[in-house]
């Protein structure tokens, strides 16, 4: 049995996806990372989705969908969530790769 050479992940991406596909994948991944941070902060503070809902005025089901990346969320709602968590919302514009 022949061993396959291990290649860097970036090389794997280039071999298996077009530039356009990679852009979409990376954009989706960045969105999910940002929304995962919301859940991590909430859980680290010991706050349930229901409690966050009461504090922010955003329905619990919407918070669940936002955290799972199933719902688009406005900056206004993100600010409400940040306020309810007693945190600041930071949005950063960075140069594209």
Instruction: Tell me if 42 is assigned to some domain.
Output: yes
Instruction: Tell me if 48 is assigned to some domain.
Output: yes
Q: What Cα–Cα distance (Å) separates residue 22 from each residue in 18, 40, 45, 60?
A: 6, 26, 35, 33
Instruction: Tell me if 71 is assigned to some domain.
Output: yes
Is 14 or 50 the better-scoring residue by pLDDT? 50
What CATH number is associated with residue 50? 1.10.260.40
Q: Does the pTM of the predicted model rise above 0.85? A: no
How many domains in the chain?
1
Count of Cβ atoms closer than 10 Å to residue 28 Cβ: 11
pLDDT 10s digits, 48-62: 999 999 999 999 999
pLDDT score for 90: 87
Query: Which domain range does residue 35 map to?
Result: 9-84
Instruction: Tell me if 1 is assigned to some domain.
Output: no
Q: Cα 39–43–47 angle (5° rounding)?
A: 110
């Amino acid at each position: 049995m022949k061993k396959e050479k291990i290649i860097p992940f970036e090389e794997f991406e280039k071999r298996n996806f077009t530039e356009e596909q990679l852009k979409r994948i990376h954009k989706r991944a960045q969105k999910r990372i940002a929304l995962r941070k919301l859940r991590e902060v909430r859980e680290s503070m010991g706050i349930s989705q229901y409690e966050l809902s009461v504090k922010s005025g955003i329905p619990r089901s919407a918070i669940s969908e936002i955290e799972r990346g199933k719902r688009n969320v406005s900056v206004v709602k993100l600010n409400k969530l940040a306020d309810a968590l007693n945190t600041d919302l930071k949005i950063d514009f960075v140069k594209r790769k």
